[in-house]
Amino acid sequence: MLFGRVKWGIHPKTHKTATANKPIENMELPRQVIIPVRMHIGAPAEPIVKKGDKVKTGQLIANSSAPVSSNVHSSVSGTVVDISDKPHSIYGQCLSIIIESDGLDQWAEETSVQRDWKMLRNDQVFEIIKNAGIVGMGGAAFPSHIKLCPPKDKKIDTLIINAAECEPFLTVDHRIMLEYTLRVATGIEIIKNLLSVENVFIGIEDNKVDAIKVMRDVIDENSAKIVAITTKYPHGAEKIIIKSLLNREVAPGKLPMDVGVVVQNVSTAVAICDAVVRGTPLIERIVTVSGSAINIPKNLKVRIGTTFSDVIKFCGGFKQTPEKLIMGGPMMGIAQYTTEVSVIKGTSGILGLSKKDVNQVDQSACIRCGKCVNCCPMNLNPSMLGILSEKGFADEAKNDYNLLDCIECGCCSYVCPAKRHIVQYVRYAKRLVAEKAAEKGNK
């Protein structure tokens, strides 16, 4: 086994010191939440409430019968004041349920439970997780219940808990391991039991010494092996951590379950614990708010649907006008055009970056230096992907240079001396491929 040693990737500045030692702080209840019906991979949920309805915290407000989707719950108690398209951090615009909080935070009756999960059957646990609307909270937001019920022909022998958190600025998972250790351990046990696996690995970057220690103090080494993996970006990418820990390669177009592995984020393990043990649906998450333009960087527990503007205000606002506002981290995050987007299930960070951090430079033509090829964790040719994608040659990029294998980690753009916007072009080409496939499917 490789056990955490890697030869690709990069070492960007971590920028984690502003929040790494700051405990998780509960943000005050927002006066209004804007909850999109699409916060996950798959079909959007459909509202089951209407304008004027009274709702309680944790109440189901949108669902879907689609095979890949996720339930949506109210994150506050109050009144539905509108259901309309609102700004969305990923999709630009999305149908959203706007709820005016009554300030009482009255929880739905079905959420007030205390279960001994070991007394439940696996099918009961599965339904609880599905109904709670839990998705992968590392950023991808894939519905967790689907991962936890692999097809019968996929023999799963290993569970990996991804606690690498290699993205600069973000300290969510680090703080969760330090402060919610027992809930992390319980969530892992629930997942392990559901999958009926013996092999469990918890991958934590070796610069998080305190998290490694506290996890080893709580988790029995016979139950799960905690591995201090090399601190190198993008070690937290799903396919990368599988290769690093197990020396198994997920082939192009395949999923981790095709090599017998399920990967879950450490924050997702906590959400699963809370749903199964306490009946709490996914209505809040921990968010790192940081960056040189943020007045007081923090790790916050935030209700889903809270606007970025409210979150930033709670952190003292901007101390200078940000050059760029990002949801997520600076490498794989998504730049925002407004602070009126809301926190969704996949929001791990809100970054306000000043001009000195962004350091925008005009790009020039590729100089064929090969630096992007040397650092690419997927063994691609980012230079050619960027050139073809920029010109709109999406099919050539897909068929000849494996466009769809790109995980958009940003290593290539980071090391490029010509400052090429490679990831931006790749995302553009992927959209062209998806649009073409959709047109073909509609014919």
Task: Tell me which long-range contacts 14-19 makes (C-beta under 8 A, separation of at least 24).
Answer: 14/168, 14/169, 14/207, 15/168, 15/169, 15/290, 15/330, 16/168, 16/169, 16/170, 16/171, 16/174, 18/169, 18/290, 18/297, 19/169, 19/171, 19/175, 19/288, 19/289, 19/290, 19/297, 19/298, 19/299
Predicted pLDDT at 252: 82
Strand order of the β-sheet with 324-327 is: 24-26, 298-303, 284-290, 349-353, 324-327, 334-336
> What predicted TM-score, i.e. pTM, was given to this entire model?
0.94
User: Distance between CA 209 and CA 389 in Å, rounded?
Assistant: 41
Tell me the pLDDT of the chain (443 aa) as tens digits. 445 556 788 999 999 999 999 999 999 999 999 999 999 999 999 999 999 999 999 999 999 999 999 999 999 999 999 999 999 999 999 999 999 999 999 999 988 788 999 999 999 999 999 999 999 998 779 999 999 999 999 999 999 999 999 999 999 999 999 999 999 999 999 999 999 999 999 999 999 999 999 999 999 988 999 999 999 999 999 999 999 999 999 988 889 999 999 999 999 999 999 999 999 999 999 999 999 999 999 999 999 999 999 999 999 999 999 999 999 999 999 999 999 999 999 999 999 999 888 867 789 999 999 999 999 999 999 999 999 999 999 999 999 999 999 999 999 999 999 999 999 999 999 999 999 988 887 66
Q: What domains can you pick out in the chain, each with its CATH number? A: 25-109 (2.40.50), 117-278 (3.40.50.11540), 286-358 (3.10.20.600), 371-442 (no CATH)
